């Protein structure tokens, strides 16, 4: 089995743009029942992961909460280090990362996000069926 067999393609990934605001991100995470999401630039390149904790920290430390919610994600400090991998990487190289972050971003040679491998897909491989 390889990464591409576990990949959730970009068309089914709930991602955010660097131009989205903190308010957009909170709404997005809530709608998708997620605690983190990949952020893409204008060209579809993966630039990092934003977490709910990053968003909460940004709002809680702001002097002006209204302005904090209107801040574009490009200006929010992100503490999660969730580097992307290319599809040619082995599955063993991503298992621990998926456990720590919930998903591993997968990019092409130009850095464009092609999809993610989420922790649930990896757990399905590692845990025997309850049948």
Tens digit of pLDDT for each residue in 86-96? 988 877 777 76
**Whole-angstrom Cα distance, residue 103 to residue 73?**
19
Residue where the block lists tokens 């709608």 = 31
**Calpha distance 80→53 (Å, rounded):** 9
State how far the Cα of 102 lies from the Cα of 118, in Å rounded to an integer: 6
| Residues 106, 116 contacting (CB under 8 angstroms) | yes
Instruction: Tell me the whole-structure pTM to 2 decimals.
Output: 0.86
Query: 102 with 83: CB under 8 angstroms?
Result: no
Considering only the top CATH level, what class is 3-126?
alpha beta
Q: For 95-119, how does the pLDDT look when each residue is reduced to its tens digit (9 = 90+)?
A: 767 666 789 999 999 999 999 998 8
């Amino acid at each position: 089995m390889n990464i591409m067999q576990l990949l959730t393609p970009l068309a089914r990934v709930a991602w955010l743009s660097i131009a989205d605001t903190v308010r957009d991100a909170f709404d997005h995470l809530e709608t998708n029942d997620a605690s983190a999401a990949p952020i893409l630039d204008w060209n579809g390149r993966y630039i990092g992961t934003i977490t709910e904790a990053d968003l909460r920290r940004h709002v809680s430390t702001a002097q002006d909460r209204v302005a904090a919610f209107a801040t574009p994600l490009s200006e929010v400090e992100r503490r999660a280090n969730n580097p992307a991998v290319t599809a040619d990487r082995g599955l063993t190289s991503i298992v621990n990362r998926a456990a720590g972050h919930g998903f591993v971003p997968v990019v092409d040679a130009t850095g464009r996000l092609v999809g993610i491998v989420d922790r649930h897909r990896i757990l399905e491989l590692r845990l025997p069926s309850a049948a």
